[in-house]
C-alpha cells in the first residue's frame, strides 16, 4: 500500500474525528527510526494542512519520547519536546496533536497522562517497532524493576502483548507497517452517542457572576456552578459538596472557576482575607485548579501574587484570600486554620488520613476520579463518604460530571486507553446465590496462570477491577509489575466462579552473601522490600537468605467486605507458602486501626513502622511478618521485641501524632518481655503517688514517676485489666505526651487516667 493510499485513510479519520469532536491515532511500525520520523513528518504536514482549512489550529505540537528520539525528532518537527521522565508536568495541559515515541516500549502511567492532553480533532502519531516485536519487547523500565536474583532475561512482557492485541481490535486507530508498506489495520469508527451537550448559561441574574459561567467548557461545569449558588444556604452546621467524574471531565477546572465566588461570599462575612486550603496527593494534581483559579480571579478583577515551588504553583495570595496547596500529612495538623477546605483527587488519599483532615471543618469540597491513574478507591465512597453522611451536623450535596472537556463523548481513543490500561475494569456482579455461597464459606483459591490471564479478558477485569474499586492508590504500572515480573504471582478467591478477593504476591529473599554485603553498605536492592528492611534496621544478616511471600495487595470485592473473605484468603496463602517450604509470609501497608486489627487477627507480627508519615498519603507504613518455621519464629520474636522497645520511645516524639488506637495495637503485639528493670521508687516517690491516688495531687506533679512506670508496663507481655478508654488515655497521655485538650479536656479524662495508673501501680507495687 502506498503512502498516497495511507493518506486517504488518514483523510477519512480526520473527517470523522472533526465531525464527532474526537481524536484518532496513527501507528507507524518500523525497525528504522529515521525512516519513521521522515514519514511521520510528511503525514503530519498533510494532517495539519487539512485541519487548518477546517478549524483554528492553536497550540504547539507535543513530541514525547526518550532522549535519542527527541534529539532526532528535532530535525523534523517544531513544537514542545518533553522527555518521558517529565510527563507529570503535562497534567492538566492541552495540545492539538502528539508525536509519541513507542519504539522501545513505554511506561503505562506515562501513556495515560500524555494521551489525555490531546484535544478533539487531534492526531496521535505513534512510532512503534514492528508489530511482531511487541511479543518480546522489554523496556528500560522493566530492567529497573526486576528484583534480584532475577534479571531482564526472566521478564515476560505480557502487558505489551496484551497492549498490542487490544490495540489491533480498537476503533479510531490506523496501523501501518512502514517496512512492508502494508496497512495492518484500517480506520474504523462507529458512532454511539452525541458528542457534546449544548452549553446553556443561566439567563437571570445569579450570585455567581456570568463572567465565571463563561469560563465553563461543558454544561456539566455550568451545573456545578449552579449547585454552588446555594453552597452557603445551609441548614446544618457543616456543608460538603462532592464532585465525582471520570478523568478529563473538568473537575479541578470548575473548582478553580468557582473559588473567587467562595472568596467573595466569605470575605463579606469574615471581614478579613479568607484562608482556603487545597489538599491533594501531589502538587501536580492541583495545577489545573490553580490555572483556572488565576483565570477566574483575573475575570473578576482580583489582583494576586503567585508563589511557585519547582515551577509548580503552590500559593495564590490576594488582599481577599490566601489559597494554598498542602500535602495530606501537613493538612492533618493545619486544617483548623482553613475557612474552606478543598480536597482534589480525594480517592487518592487514605481514608483515616482523609477523615483526620476533614474532622471538624465547616466548609468542605471534595473532587475525585472514578476511573483513572489518580486513584479510584471505593474507600472514599464506601468508608469515608458513608461515615460523613452519618454525621448529623453535615449537609452533603453530590454532583457527577459525564462530559469530557478536551473532546466529545464517545471518543474512541479514550475507550482504547481505558481498555489497554484497564482503567475501567470492574469486579464481577454479585447476586443472591453468590451471597448465600459466601455465607456458607464456599470459597476456592486459585493461583492464576499469568499467560492465560492475559487471554481471559473477563477474568483479568474481574481480578483487577477489585483493586480499581477497593484500593485508593492504583496505577496502571501495578498491572505491569504483576503480569511481567518473574517473582510476582496472582491468586484469586472465587465464589461460584466469580473473583471476590484478589491477591498480588511477591516472592522475596534467597539473597546471596555478596548482595547481602552490598545491602549492608547502603545498596538498595530492587523489589526486596522486607529482606532489605530487616537487614538495614535490625542488622539481621541471615534473614535475607530466607525466602517468603510478601503480600503486595489483598483486596476484597467492595460488595462483600467484612465477611471473613480476606482472612480466609490469608490463611490459604500461608498454607501455600508452607507447601512450597517458604520461611515467612509478610506485608507492608499504610497503617490504620482497622487494617492493623485485620493483620493482628490473622497472627501477623509487627516488626517495623516508618517514623515519618508518607508525604503524599499521610500514612505511617507498618511491616508485619508471620514466621512459618521455628528458627524464623525465634528471630521474628526477637525483632518484634526490639521493635516494641523502639516504638515506646518513638511515641513521645516521631510518632506522637500516630492514631492512639494504632499505637495500642502495636504495643499489644509484643511477643516476649523486654529486658528492662522495674522503676525503683523510694519512700518520697511512693508518698507522692499516694497523694495522687487520693486526689490530693495532680498528674503534672507525678508525671516523672508515671511515665517510666507506663513504659515499663508496655515492655512486658502480662497486662492488667484495662478497658479500651483507660488504655487510650494512658497511651495518649503517658507515652505520646498529648495535651489534656487533645484527649478531651474534661474531668472524666483525668479520672480515667488516674484509675488506669492505679491498676498498673497495684500490679507492681501492691496497695502501698
Rounded Cα distance between 397 and 490, Å, is: 39
301-318, pLDDT tens digit by residue? 999 999 998 889 999 999
- Cα separation, 279 vs 524, whole angstroms: 32
Q: What is the pLDDT of residue 375?
A: 46
Residue 165, Cβ neighbours under 10 Å: how many?
15
Q: How far apart are CA 555 and CA 491, in angstroms?
A: 11
Could you tell me which residues come within 8 angstroms of residue 711 by beta carbon, excluding any fewer than 6 positions away?
648, 676, 734, 735
DSSP, collapsed to helix, strand or coil, labels residue 709 as helix
Query: For residue 514, what pLDDT is reported?
Result: 92
pLDDT of 1 > 60? The answer is: no
Span 117-137, pLDDT tens digits: 999 999 999 999 999 999 999
Average pLDDT over residues 269-284: 92
CATH topology identical between 3-185 and 210-401? yes
Long-range CB contacts (< 8 A, 24+ apart) of 106-110?
Answer: 106/139, 107/139, 107/141, 107/477, 108/159, 108/421, 108/475, 108/476, 108/477, 108/479, 108/480, 109/373, 109/475, 109/476, 109/477, 110/64, 110/84
How many helices, marked H, and strands, marked E, lie in the chain? 29, 22
CA atoms within 13 A on the CB side of 502: 26
Contact 551, 577 (CB under 8 A): no
DSSP state of 346: G
Q: What is the 3-state secondary structure (H, E, C) of 524-586?
A: CCCCCHHHHHHHHHHCCCCHHHCEEEEEEEEEECHHHCCCCHHHHHHHHHHHHHHHCCCCEEE
* Location of C-alpha cell 488504655: 727
Q: Which residues contact 49 (CB under 8 A, 6 or more apart)?
A: none
Distance CA 565, CA 557 (A): 9
| pLDDT of res. 2 | 67
CATH C-level class of 423-649: alpha beta
Region 375-404 average pLDDT: 78
Q: Which CATH architecture has domain 3-185?
A: 3-Layer(aba) Sandwich (3.40)
Strand arrangement, sheet containing 444-448:
444-448, 488-495, 498-509, 547-556, 584-590, 621-627, 605-609
HSE value, Cβ hemisphere, 13 Å, CA-based, for 468: 24
Q: Which residues contact 71 (CB under 8 A, 6 or more apart)?
A: none
Which pLDDT value is given to residue 373? 44
Strand order in the sheet with 312-317: 305-309, 312-317, 321-326, 274-279, 340-344, 363-369, 238-245, 394-401
Q: Measure the CA–CA gap between 124 and 47, rounded to whole angstroms.
A: 11
Q: What is the pLDDT of residues 614-668, one digit of tens each?
A: 766 677 899 999 999 999 999 999 999 999 999 999 999 989 989 999 999 999 9
Please state the rounded mean pLDDT for residues 190-198: 81
Long-range pairs for 298-306: beta carbons < 8 A, 24 or more residues apart: 299/209, 299/211, 299/212, 299/214, 299/215, 299/260, 300/209, 300/211, 300/212, 300/260, 300/264, 302/260, 302/263
Q: What is the pLDDT of residue 352?
A: 77
Q: What cell numbers appear for 281 in the block?
A: 496527593
Architecture of the 210-401 domain? 3-Layer(aba) Sandwich (3.40)
DSSP string, 586-651: EEEEE--HHHHHHHHHTT-EEEEE-SSPPTTT-PPEEEEEEE-SHHHHHHHHHHHHHHHHHHHHHT
> Alpha-carbon distance 679 to 691, whole Å?
19
Contacts of 523 (CB under 8 A, 6+ apart): 515
Name the percent of the chain lying above pLDDT 90. Answer: 74
pLDDT band at 576 (very low <50, low <70, confident <90, very high): very high
**pLDDT value for 349:** 82
**Residue 26 CA neighbour count, 13 Å, CB half:** 31
- Span 694-723, average pLDDT: 95
Region 586-590: what's the mean pLDDT?
A: 94
State mean pLDDT over 421-443: 93
d(CA 591, CA 351): 11
Residue 174 DSSP label = E
pLDDT of residue 382: 64
- What was the pLDDT predicted at 174? 97
Percent of the chain with pLDDT over 70: 96
pLDDT (average), residues 260-267? 94
Where are the chain's structural domains? 3-185, 210-401, 423-649, 683-765
User: Which residues, other chains included, contact 132 with Cβ-Cβ below 8 Å and sequence gap of 6+?
Assistant: none
pLDDT beyond 60 at 295: yes
Beta strand 498-509 with 238-245: parallel, antiparallel or unpaired? unpaired
Q: Assess whether pLDDT exceeds 50 at residue 413.
A: yes
> Is pLDDT above 90 for 715?
yes
Angle between the N-to-C axes of helices 703-713 and 747-765, in degrees from 0 to 180, rounded to the nearest 10: 60
Band the pLDDT of 468: cuts 50, 70, 90: confident
Q: So what's the pLDDT on residue 374?
A: 45
Question: Is residue 508 within a helix (H) or strand (E), and if so which, with residue range?
Answer: strand 498-509
Grid cell for residue 467: 483493586
**Integer distance in angstroms from the first to the last C-alpha of the chain?**
99
Is 99 a residue whose pLDDT tops 90?
A: yes
Residue 392 pLDDT exceeds 90: no
Output the pTM of the full model.
0.89
Q: What distance in Å separates the CA atoms of residue 151 and residue 350, rounded to the nearest whole number? A: 34
Higher pLDDT: 420 or 360? It is 420
Name the pLDDT band for 692 (thresholds 50, 70, 90): very high
Q: Average pLDDT of 196-211?
A: 85
Interval 537-566 mean pLDDT: 93
Measured distance CA(383)–CA(379) in Å, rounded: 5
Q: Average pLDDT of the chain?
A: 91
Judged by average pLDDT, the poorest of 83-92, 195-204, 208-217, 357-366 is 195-204
**Phi/psi of residue 135, each to 5°?**
-65, -30
Q: What string of H, E and C letters represents the secondary structure of 139-173?
A: CHHHHHHCCCCCCHHHCCCHHHHHHHHHHCCCCCE
Q: How far apart are CA 451 and CA 489, in angstroms?
A: 12
pLDDT at 456: 96
Amino acid at each position: 500500500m502506498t503512502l498516497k493510499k495511507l493518506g486517504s485513510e488518514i483523510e477519512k479519520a480526520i473527517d470523522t474525528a472533526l465531525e464527532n469532536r474526537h481524536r484518532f491515532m496513527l501507528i507507524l511500525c518500523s525497525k528504522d527510526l529515521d525512516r519513521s520520523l521522515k514519514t511521520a513528518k510528511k503525514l503530519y504536514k498533510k494532517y495539519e494542512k487539512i485541519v487548518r482549512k477546517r478549524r483554528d489550529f492553536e497550540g504547539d505540537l507535543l513530541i514525547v519520547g526518550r532522549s535519542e528520539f527527541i534529539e532526532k525528532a528535532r530535525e523534523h518537527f517544531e513544537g514542545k519536546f518533553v522527555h518521558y521522565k517529565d510527563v507529570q508536568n503535562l497534567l492538566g495541559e492541552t495540545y492539538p496533536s502528539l508525536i509519541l515515541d513507542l519504539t522501545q516500549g513505554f511506561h503505562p502511567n506515562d501513556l495515560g497522562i500524555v494521551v489525555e492532553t490531546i484535544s478533539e480533532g487531534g492526531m496521535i502519531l505513534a512510532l512503534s517497532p514492528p508489530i511482531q516485536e511487541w511479543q518480546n519487547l522489554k523496556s528500560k523500565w522493566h530492567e529497573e524493576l526486576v528484583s534480584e536474583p532475577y534479571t531482564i532475561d526472566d521478564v515476560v512482557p505480557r502487558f505489551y502483548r496484551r497492549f498490542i492485541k487490544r490495540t489491533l481490535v480498537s476503533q479510531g486507530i490506523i496501523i501501518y507497517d512502514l517496512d512492508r508498506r502494508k496497512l495492518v489495520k484500517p480506520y474504523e469508527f462507529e458512532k454511539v452517542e452525541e458528542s457534546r451537550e449544548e452549553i446553556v448559561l443561566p439567563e437571570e441574574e445569579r450570585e455567581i457572576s456570568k463572567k465565571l459561567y463563561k469560563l465553563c467548557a461543558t454544561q456539566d461545569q455550568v451545573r456545578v456552578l449552579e449547585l454552588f449558588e446555594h453552597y452557603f444556604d445551609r441548614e446544618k452546621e457543616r456543608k460538603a459538596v462532592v464532585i465525582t467524574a471520570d478523568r478529563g471531565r473538568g473537575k479541578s477546572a470548575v473548582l478553580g472557576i468557582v473559588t473567587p465566588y467562595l472568596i467573595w461570599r466569605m470575605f463579606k462575612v469574615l471581614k478579613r482575607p479568607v484562608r482556603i486550603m487545597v489538599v491533594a496527593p501531589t502538587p501536580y494534581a492541583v495545577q489545573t485548579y490553580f490555572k483556572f483559579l488565576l483565570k477566574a480571579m483575573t475575570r473578576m478583577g482580583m489582583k494576586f501574587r503567585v508563589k511557585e515551588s519547582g515551577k509548580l504553583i503552590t500559593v495564590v495570595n490576594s488582599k481577599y484570600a490566601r489559597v494554598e496547596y498542602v500535602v495530606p500529612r501537613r493538612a492533618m495538623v493545619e486544617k483548623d486554620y482553613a475557612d474552606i477546605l478543598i480536597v482534589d483527587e480525594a480517592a487518592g488519599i487514605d481514608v483515616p488520613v482523609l477523615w483526620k483532615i476533614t474532622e471538624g471543618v465547616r466548609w468542605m469540597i471534595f473532587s475525585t476520579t472514578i476511573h483513572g491513574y489518580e486513584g479510584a478507591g471505593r474507600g472514599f465512597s464506601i468508608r469515608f463518604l458513608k461515615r460523613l453522611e452519618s454525621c448529623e451536623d453535615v449537609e452533603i450535596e453530590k454532583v457527577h460530571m459525564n462530559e469530557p472537556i478536551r473532546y466529545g463523548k464517545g471518543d474512541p481513543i479514550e475507550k482504547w486507553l481505558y481498555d489497554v490500561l484497564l482503567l475501567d475494569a470492574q469486579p464481577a456482579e454479585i447476586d443472591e446465590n453468590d451471597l448465600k455461597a459466601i455465607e456458607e464459606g464456599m470459597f476456592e483459591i486459585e493461583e492464576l496462570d499469568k499467560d492465560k490471564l492475559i487471554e481471559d479478558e473477563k477474568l483479568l477485569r474481574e481480578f483487577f477491577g477489585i483493586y480499581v474499586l477497593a484500593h485508593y492508590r492504583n496505577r496502571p504500572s501495578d498491572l505491569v509489575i504483576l503480569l511481567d515480573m518473574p517473582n510476582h504471582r496472582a491468586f484469586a478467591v472465587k465464589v461460584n466462579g466469580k473473583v471476590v478477593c484478589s491477591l498480588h504476591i511477591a516472592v522475596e529473599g534467597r539473597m546471596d552473601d555478596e548482595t547481602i554485603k552490598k545491602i549492608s553498605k547502603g545498596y538498595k536492592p530492587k523489589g526486596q522490600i522486607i529482606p532489605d528492611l530487616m537487614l538495614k534496621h535490625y542488622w539481621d544478616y541471615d534473614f535475607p537468605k530466607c525466602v517468603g511471600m510478601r503480600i503486595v495487595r489483598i483486596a476484597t470485592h467492595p460488595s462483600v467486605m467484612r465477611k471473613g473473605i480476606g482472612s480466609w484468603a490469608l490463611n490459604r496463602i500461608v498454607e501455600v507458602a508452607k507447601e512450597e517450604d517458604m520461611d515467612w509470609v509478610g506485608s507492608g501497608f499504610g497503617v490504620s486501626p482497622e487494617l492493623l486489627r485485620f493483620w493482628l487477627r490473622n497472627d501477623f507480627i509487627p516488626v517495623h513502622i516508618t517514623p515519618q508519615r508518607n508525604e503524599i498519603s499521610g500514612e505511617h507504613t507498618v511491616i508485619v511478618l508471620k514466621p512459618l518455621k521455628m528458627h524464623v519464629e525465634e528471630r521474628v520474636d526477637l525483632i518484634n521485641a526490639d521493635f516494641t522497645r523502639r516504638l515506646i520511645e518513638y511515641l513521645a516524639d516521631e510518632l506522637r501524632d500516630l492514631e492512639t488506637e494504632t499505637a495500642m495495637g502495636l504495643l499489644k503485639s509484643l511477643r516476649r518481655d523486654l529486658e528492662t528493670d522495674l522503676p525503683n521508687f523510694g519512700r518520697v516517690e511512693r508518698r507522692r503517688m499516694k497523694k495522687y491516688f487520693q486526689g490530693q495531687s495532680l498528674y503534672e506533679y507525678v508525671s516523672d514517676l508515671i511515665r517510666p512506670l507506663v513504659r515499663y508496663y508496655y515492655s512486658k507481655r502480662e497486662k492488667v485489666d484495662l478497658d479500651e478508654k483507660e488504655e487510650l488515655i494512658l497511651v495518649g497521655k503517658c507515652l505520646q505526651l498529648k495535651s489534656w485538650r487533645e484527649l478531651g479536656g474534661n474531668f472524666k479524662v483525668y479520672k480515667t487516667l488516674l484509675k488506669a495508673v492505679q491498676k498498673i501501680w497495684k500490679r507492681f507495687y501492691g496497695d502501698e
